[in-house]
Structure 1
Amino acid sequence: MPERSKKAAPRFSAAARKKLAETLAQTGLGAGRDAPITRRTESGGPCQLSTSQERLWLAEQVLAPSPLYHVPLAAHLVGPLDIVALRRALDDLLQRHDILRARFVQVDERVEQHTLATLELPLVPVDLGALPSSQRYARALALARAEFRRPFDLAQGPPLRAALWRLSAEEHVFLLAFHHIVCDGATMRILCDELAEHYAAERSGRPLSLVEPELQHGDYAVWQRARAESAEARSALDYFAERLRGPLAPLELPSDRPRPAQWSVHGDWRTRRMEPSLGASLSELARAHQATPFQLFLAAFHALLARLTGQHDLVVGIPLGLRERSELERLPGFLVNTLALRTRCEGSLSFVELLARVKDTALEAQAHGAAPFERVLERVQPARDPSRAPLFDVMFDHRAGLAEELHLAGLSSGRLIPEDQLHSGTSKVDLAVYTALDASGFSLSAEFRTDLFDPSTIDLLLERFEVLLRALAANPHARVDELELVGAGELELLRRWAQGPNVPGCESTLHAAVAEQAARAPESCSMKRRRSAG
């Protein structure tokens, strides 16, 4: 069996997790999560959706067809690909997990997951060999984007598609496009591992080494919905209702255009890559303050928002993975909740003080993660603005341990294609910022609404975030309102603005031209004043 992708780095340090466990024990929170998850007797029959799945399904009904909730798993495959083995491996993977064969059917006033008995995805390679070799990969990416963005019919199913483009005998682009209602980031790791194992078994003719899944997603959905009605969840709702009580001022990020009256899905993605040493030094800084990289980067994002907007009462959305139980670690599906973190971020705080505040807020929110986001919205009932997402305008996540490669036996490379090359062209909020730190490097990425921001503006925002991170790495005790924001790129932009436009015959300023004329002919008049008539 291929080596498993590494698990995501913990969002909370060992000391923080101990504190969280003590909090759960003292308050009685967490009791619901200890309830056993049992396998349904009628596996494959109609079943409930989790509350998170139900929210995505409702959003899909309200919005016009779009790729807003599409998730790609795409790889650039180099080496002798056995297409027959890949097709069989994919079929075996679909039979292994009911959620991959799901369709979502409205029955009266509820929606159910129905499972297709069998499913075979067509995987016929599209040959791009007639194109010049220098154009094939770009063409494959363009075709993959078009295929990835094609809407799904959730009622008919399936909630995924496969496609393959042949660039040469030993070079292909492979795409699996999913609807988010059946997957999340951890699912990509799981499916990469299992598809590779199925492929190796098909290619060699050896028995499959994977054990049968302990649970199916429907089993989890039944357990999760019961947990959402528990005393633990009611207490968690009370917590968020209190934290989010009072006026929540919308975040006013500097934008390129006025906010449209109606929210739209149109978006884009930008990435800024930096040397791994910066990420390593920031991770070490986090450890020195008993924090995790996630908490440090989240605190830095708060500092950036406060500096850009001048606002200090900030609400930021974060995703929370719900695989804390061992039997859920290898279960594909949408096992994610969304938490709304409200934090005061005064400029007079040192960054170290802000880090401690953000860490405590995140720990408390995670301790109350049994409250489904959709129930929080119902309870808080924030003022609705059709031009904005509810509760918060920005989101943040630190990505660690994500799948980076599809390890297919016999291939020299199966590098996954990053989101700046294969993106949905949508954005769920005004701005979502992601940090990523792994062996290959350190990066900042942003998904943003294109009806508000130009790509160049987001590039500048990411540059400012990098400058701020370097500043706090050098002096974490600096006040938030004194952290440096202006980098070399922005300084060059300011220099060009100060110089003004290039006008033929006017390469200098007026006072410099007078001085030059005086130096050339000191005995002559360098400038005459013409008196106006009258």
Structure 2
Amino acid sequence: MTTAQVEPSTTASSDTPGGLSPAARRLLEMRLRGKAAAAPAGIPRLDPRPAQAPLSAAQQRLYFLDQLDPGGVEYLMPAAWRFTGPLDTAALSAAIGDLTDRHEQLRVVFSHQDGVPAQRVLPAAEAAGLDVVDLPPAVREGGPEAIAAAVREVALRPFDLAAAPPFRATLLRIGAEDHVLVLAMHHIVSDGWSLDILTEDLGVCYRARRQGRAPQSARPPVEYTDYAHWQRGADESADLDYWRTALSGLTPLELPTDHPRPAVRSSAGAVHTVELPEKLTAALAELGRRADTTSYMTLMAAFQAALAFHSGQDDIAIGTVVANRERPEIEQLVGFFVNTLVIRTDLAGDPTSAQLLARTRESVLGALSHQSLPFERIVDELSPERDLSRNPLFQVLFSHSAAAPQGGYALGGARGTAFPIDLTTAKFDLTLDVSEDADRIRLRFVYRPDLFEAASVARLAEHTVAVLRAFAEAPDVPLAMADLLTAGERAALLGPDGPANRPPAGAIPEPAPRLAMERLAERIRQAPAAVAVSGGGRSLTYGELDAASRALARRLRAAGIGPESLVGVCLGRSVDLAVALL
């Protein structure tokens, strides 16, 4: 992730009517549905303030992941800007102090007692201030690469959640009027929306300090620790009933991989980027107006269709993220509020593009209507089999955000531009991250290179774009009839050496057909490490399949089973069934 990709909301602003806040949008939706518009009971402010507080459900998940991988960078969210012009270091230092005083989550530490994690808010006086660092001459004179390395080192320095708050502000001085400001945070205390609040507040506090006064901003009505307490006692029964029904009988998506899945999931990531042609972008906007779908829904539907094309499945469940700021009292709070939803869409029955869009629209609206239930509660309720090599419920994520603003960020007379920090991590097997502005849509496919080759992800990206073209050009044609093949794939099938142009039978003697076991034995010799069979969350390579089937054969022979003996097999479709039949 780079600074420019950190957004104030995890859903597209274009999908929010009139730029409404989540709380205002929820009130509008209730009125449109004819429901009572009475305000929900507010989150109470705890008084006196507790010495320590529980973690929210989302925080608890990140705390657990940090315990598994202390000092990992997967959930860091740094942001940096390079400022040119006069910068008042004393005023900036005081403004950072104002930020940590105003926003409690910037000065919390995390601990656990008897296995139960908790957070404790430090007094504002104990919060770390701005760290000003003069870059040495070797770095200043080393050019952009040396400066970028210095920024990256500061931005990606790990946090010890128990020792100090997971927020750090550093000013790197390159010259008298050349600085880089780095705000480093752990996701457990912040999110993209929070960063927007922090940058706005920092500008207000800096201006006040430059004028020799303290900022006069009103304090939030509640704190994040109040929210965490309230969440523990919230009535979740209706939302739980919805998600039990929506995810009943869920079949995990099994995308074919190029490499066997490691026993422990890696966070290393790689990126494949595609920008949609301007003509296609305009056509999709028109399609959305006709079908009453947002671009978020349209792009998600196309992605799900491409996943079905690759997996051969018609029950496609993927994850997505929402800002989860539907309550007005938390809109201006800094903290980790983002929630994860599962969007399940049925592609059975060979739907047309228009039918698939309608199905996805209903799935999205249903999920958004029940977005406040923490994802962690759903996982606990459904209790999927836990596996350190993968995430629960889904392995593929779809996210959609507005493109980063092109304007700069000013602190008085110093003009700042976003300083990119290369932090490409893969939290899931595959993520499609869509960024969109008025006339451009960019698709970023973030994937795990220990599972997928770059060429495989590139093909999936091309198929996703092909589905989008089918949506725009032939919305009433079944997707099975849409031409999703790439030019290279079409050439391989229809070219002079492809199956469509083989000489007629009899013109060249066809080789005698080989037995399946002979062909399998050849494949085992050629590629013993390639994945041979997958299912139920397990995979076997050709070598592993051969070893397992031979071991079973030895056991059968030891039991007296010989040629022409009948052996019953009672297994569902699984890896073990392939072993037994061989």
TM-score class, shorter-chain normalisation, is 0.7 to 0.9
Distance change >3 Å, CA 51–CA 6, structure 1 → 2: closer
Q: Does 1:364 align with 2:371?
A: no
Q: Please name the residue that 1:516 is paired with.
A: none
SS in 2 for 1:331: coil
Does structure 2 retain, via aligned residues, the 8 Å contact 1:66–1:150? no
Amino acid across the alignment from 1:21: M
Q: Please name the residue that 1:202 is paired with.
A: 209
Q: Give the Cα separation in 1 of the matches to 2:140 and 2:182.
A: 22
SS in 2 for 1:359: helix
Number of equivalent positions:
480
Q: Give the Cα separation in 2 of the matches to 1:324 and 1:115.
A: 25
CA-CA distance at 1:280 after TM superposition: 5.0
Q: Please name the residue that 1:219 is paired with.
A: 226
Q: Does 1:141 align with 2:148?
A: yes
Q: Please name the residue that 1:123 is paired with.
A: 131
* From 21, 38, 42, the counterpart of 2:30: 21
* TM-score normalized by the length of structure 2: 0.73
Does structure 1 retain, via aligned residues, the 8 Å contact 2:96–2:169? no
Deviation by residue 1:394-415 (Cα, 9 ceiling, x = unmatched): 0111112766666223457433
Deviation by residue 1:248-289 (Cα, 9 ceiling, x = unmatched): 23321x433222233222223444345666545433432332
Deviation by residue 1:165-205 (Cα, 9 ceiling, x = unmatched): 34444443322121111111111111111112222222344
Q: Give the Cα separation in 2 of the matches to 1:370 and 1:210.
A: 29
Deviation by residue 1:380-425 (Cα, 9 ceiling, x = unmatched): 122334422111010111112766666223457433345xx521x4
Amino acid across the alignment from 1:473: A
Does structure 2 retain, via aligned residues, the 8 Å contact 1:299–1:358? yes
Amino acid across the alignment from 1:384: R
Q: Please name the residue that 1:241 is paired with.
A: 244
Q: Give the Cα separation in 1 of the matches to 2:196 and 2:346.
A: 35
Question: Pairwise mapping of residues 212-291 of structure 1 onto structure 2 (< 5 A)?
Answer: 212-227=219-234, 230=235, 233-246=236-249, 248-252=251-255, 254-274=256-276, 278-291=280-293
Q: Give the Cα separation in 2 of the matches to 1:166 and 1:463.
A: 44
Consecutive unaligned residues in structure 1, runs of 5 or more: 500-534
CA RMSD of aligned residues (A): 3.5
Distance change >3 Å, CA 197–CA 361, structure 1 → 2: same
* From 9, 13, 20, the counterpart of 1:9: 13
Distance change >3 Å, CA 238–CA 306, structure 1 → 2: same
Question: Pairwise mapping of residues 45-444 of structure 1 onto structure 2 (< 5 A)?
Answer: 45-118=51-124, 119-127=127-135, 130=138, 136-205=143-212, 208=215, 210-227=217-234, 230=235, 233-246=236-249, 248-252=251-255, 254-274=256-276, 278-346=280-348, 348-400=350-402, 407-410=409-412, 413-418=415-420, 421-423=421-423, 425-438=424-437, 441-444=440-443
SS in 2 for 1:68: coil
Does structure 2 retain, via aligned residues, the 8 Å contact 1:20–1:363? no
% same residue:
35
Does structure 1 retain, via aligned residues, the 8 Å contact 2:319–2:396? yes
Does structure 2 retain, via aligned residues, the 8 Å contact 1:100–1:160? yes
Amino acid across the alignment from 2:160: D
Does structure 1 retain, via aligned residues, the 8 Å contact 2:189–2:334? yes
Does structure 1 retain, via aligned residues, the 8 Å contact 2:435–2:443? yes
Deviation by residue 1:125-183 (Cα, 9 ceiling, x = unmatched): 342654586x5333333333333333211112211223333444444332212111111
Does structure 2 retain, via aligned residues, the 8 Å contact 1:44–1:98? no
Q: Name whichever of 166-175 and 446-455 sits farther off.
A: 166-175
CA-CA distance at 1:247 after TM superposition: 5.1
* TM-score normalized by the length of structure 1: 0.79
SS in 1 for 2:426: coil
Q: Give the Cα separation in 2 of the matches to 1:282 and 1:71.
A: 32
CA-CA distance at 1:48 after TM superposition: 2.0
Q: Does 1:481 align with 2:480?
A: yes
Consecutive unaligned residues in structure 2, runs of 5 or more: 1-6, 19-24, 498-582
Q: Give the Cα separation in 2 of the matches to 1:493 and 1:275.
A: 23
Amino acid across the alignment from 1:84: A
